[in-house]
């Protein structure tokens, strides 16, 4: 795996690459970074050119004061992949907040995205009543509160973020302590907490942006939608969400898996992705 930086003016993106072949772009969620793909990337890289960026404000990318609506974040990834790397067509995978970013990118550039995979997240503005499961995902409201979560969590990242790492999986140890330490490294950096919470503060704009798209458009490319079947996994919500937004959706649930799919079930996820992307190569 090779690490790179791309300075694009308003944001400087860190990204990791591996392999050769048709491009696959992997987009992470919160509170994680490109590092969540470390167990899946080697297998994908045997057949594909894999690109895993740190999203705006997260990981080792820069932390602008604004621009955390998913349309803007998707624009960052498009500029990286298309303008910097010169790639015109690619497969796209998004987990957690990377999923709505992937949707925004695929909706803006449908001819560029050959196949799209969305992992354990629903899309704001898909027509469903509430992406927060009626308040069950309590942290959505907390994170949207201005300034308060930063004040509560700063200096206590290991306690607060650690709760998610240990509670959102099918088992409390699905993310090893050494890997939690890597996530804490980047979320302890100046501005990282604010940037992460800003992804949630942009939810009202994301809902409006996506509802406007969905009013007259459905994604034309094949979509793979997968949810974890345990703990805080989204189960069949992912398929249901994407079927409101795309014409060709397959998928379901990954067994014995909570929310941290690329780390909990990397072998099964890799098999699903290789099979899904391989369909395009065989057609």
Which residues contact residue 187 at a Cβ distance below 8 angstroms, ignoring those fewer than 6 apart?
31, 157, 161, 193, 196
Angle at 23 between CA 175 and CA 8, to 5 degrees: 85
Q: Active site includes 96?
A: yes
H-helix or E-strand containing 169?
none
* Among the listed residues 80, 91, 22, the one whose alpha carbon sits nearest the alpha carbon of residue 53: 80
Tell me the sheet residues that pair with 227.
Answer: 253
What strands lie across the sheet with 223-228, from one edge to the other? 2-7, 12-18, 48-53, 22-27, 90-95, 113-119, 223-228, 249-254
Q: Active site includes 259?
A: yes
Catalytic: which of 54, 60, 76, 96? Answer: 96
Catalytic: which of 103, 200, 206, 209? Answer: 200
* Residues with catalytic roles: 96, 200, 259
């Amino acid at each position: 795996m090779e690490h790179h930086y791309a300075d694009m003016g308003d944001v400087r993106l860190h990204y990791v690459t591996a392999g050769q072949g048709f491009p696959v772009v992997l987009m992470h969620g919160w509170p994680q970074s490109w590092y969540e793909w470390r167990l899946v990337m080697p297998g994908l890289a045997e057949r594909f050119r894999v690109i895993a960026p740190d999203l705006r404000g997260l990981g080792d990318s820069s932390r602008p004061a604004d621009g955390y609506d998913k349309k803007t974040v998707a624009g960052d990834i498009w500029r990286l992949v298309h303008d910097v790397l010169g790639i015109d067509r690619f497969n796209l995978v998004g987990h957690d907040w990377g999923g709505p970013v992937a949707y925004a990118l695929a909706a803006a550039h449908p001819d560029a995205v050959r196949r799209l995979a969305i992992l354990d997240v629903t899309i704001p503005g898909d027509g469903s009543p509430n992406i927060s499961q009626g308040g069950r995902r309590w942290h959505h409201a907390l994170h949207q509160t201005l300034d308060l979560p930063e004040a509560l969590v700063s200096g206590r990242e290991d306690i607060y973020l650690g709760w998610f790492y240990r509670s959102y999986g099918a088992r409390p140890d699905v993310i090893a302590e050494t890997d939690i330490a890597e996530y804490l490294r980047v979320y302890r950096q100046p501005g990282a907490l604010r940037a992460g919470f800003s992804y949630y503060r942009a939810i009202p704009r994301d809902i409006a942006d996506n509802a406007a798209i969905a009013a007259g458009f459905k994604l034309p490319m094949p979509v793979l939608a997968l949810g974890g079947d345990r703990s805080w996994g989204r189960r069949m919500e992912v398929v249901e969400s994407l079927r409101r937004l795309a014409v060709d959706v397959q998928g379901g649930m990954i067994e014995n898996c909570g929310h941290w799919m690329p780390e909990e079930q990397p072998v099964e996820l890799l098999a699903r992705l290789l099979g899904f992307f391989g369909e395009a190569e065989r057609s």
